[in-house]
Amino acid sequence: MNRTNILLLFTILIIVYCCAIPVDVMDADASQYAAMSREMKESGSYLQVYEQGKDYLDKPPFLFWVSSLSMLLFGENNFAFKFPSILFALFAVFATYRFARLFYDHTIALLSAIVLASCQAFFLITNDIRTDTILMSWVIIALWQLAVWMQSNKIIHFLLGCAAIGAGMVTKGPIALFVPVFAFGSHFVLQRKFKYLFKPVYLLGLLVIAIVLIPMSIGLYKQFDLHPEKTVNGLKNVSGLKFFYWTQSFGRITGENTWNNHAPFSFLFENLLWGMLPWTLFFIAGFIRDLVLIIQRKFQVSASEEFITTGGFVLTYCSLAISKYQLPHYIYVVLPLIAISTAKMIHAIFWQNKFPVLKKIILPVQWLVAVVLLAAPVLLLIYAFPAQTIWPWLIPAAGVIAVLLILVYKNISQKLFNISLALIIILNIFLSLWFYPNVLKYQAGSVVGRYIAEQKIERDNFFMFQVTGIAESIHFYSKRIVKAVDRIDSLPANTYLLTMDGGLQHIKTTGRSFEIVKQGKDYHVTALTAKFLNYKTRDEQGNNYYVVKLK
Q: Residue ranges per domain, the chain?
A: 3-351, 356-441, 444-550
Strands 484-485 and 462-465: parallel
pLDDT at 219 over 90: yes
pLDDT given for residue 238 in this prediction = 87
**Secondary structure E strands in 47-134:** 50-51, 54-55
Q: Is 505 exposed, middle or buried (0-12, 13-18, 19+ CB in 10 A)?
A: exposed
- How many angstroms separate the CA atoms of 460 and 467, rounded? 18
Q: How confident is the model at residue 253 (pLDDT cuts 50, 70, 90)?
A: low
Inter-helix orientation angle 356-379/280-296, to 10°:
150
Average pLDDT taken over every residue of the chain: 92
| CA-angle at 213, arms to 164 and 128, nearest 5° | 60
pLDDT tens, position by position, 341-368: 999 999 999 999 899 999 999 999 999 9
Alpha carbon distances (Å) from 336 to 91, 92, 189, 417: 11, 8, 22, 19
- How many angstroms separate the CA atoms of 139 and 92, rounded? 9
pLDDT at 257 over 70: no
Residue among 88, 89, 96 nearest 308 (CA): 96
Dihedral angle over CA of 159, 179, 83, 424, nearest 10: 130
pLDDT tens, position by position, 121-162: 999 999 999 999 999 999 999 999 999 999 999 999 999 999
Q: Is 503 exposed, middle or buried (0-12, 13-18, 19+ CB in 10 A)?
A: buried
Residue among 477, 138, 164, 189 nearest 310 (CA): 189
pTM of structure: 0.94
Inter-helix orientation angle 308-321/175-190, to 10°:
130
